[in-house]
Amino acid sequence: MATTECITQTVPLVKLSGVWHVSGTRVPLDSIVFAYEQGATPEEISEQFTSVALGDLYAVIAYYLHNTDEVERYLAEELPSVRRLGARLNRAGIPRECATD
């Protein structure tokens, strides 16, 4: 009789102040999704966000691909507040990339 084994992997995402980030970094989920949707490979995204391990990028992208509707709803709800934060950072002279990586 064959047995079935299941491997479960935790998605490396954590919610900080209402915004999902890659665990252990300040890189928001929307930045990863945006780069991926613009055609960047995980390796290219890794070069842009050096604090995110390549394996974590693959896990986050896999999560996005398996839960596209849920992530898109989150982004539609959260994106306005993220844009407001970006505008505040720009007014303060802080590029958004510096605040998230």
pLDDT (tens digit per residue) in 35-84:
999 999 999 999 999 999 999 999 999 999 999 999 999 998 876 766 66
> What is the domain class of 13-100 according to CATH?
mainly alpha
Could you give the percent of the chain with pLDDT greater than 90? 61
Mean pLDDT of the chain: 86
Q: Give me the residue spans of the domains in the chain.
A: 13-100
* Rounded alpha-carbon distances, angstroms, from residue 17 to 1, 56, 58, 100: 49, 21, 24, 13
Q: What is the pLDDT of residue 101?
A: 44
Q: Fill in the amino acid letter for 96.
A: R
Mark residue 72 as left, alpha or beta (left: phi above 0; alpha: psi -120 to 50; beta: remaining).
alpha
SS (H, E, C) the chain: CCCCCCCCCCCCEEEECCEEEECCCCCEHHHHHHHHHCCCCHHHHHHHCCCCCHHHHHHHHHHHHHCHHHHHHHHHHHHHHHHHHHHHHHHCCCCHHHHHC
Max Cα distance, the chain (Å): 66
d(CA 65, CA 33) in angstroms, rounded, equals 10
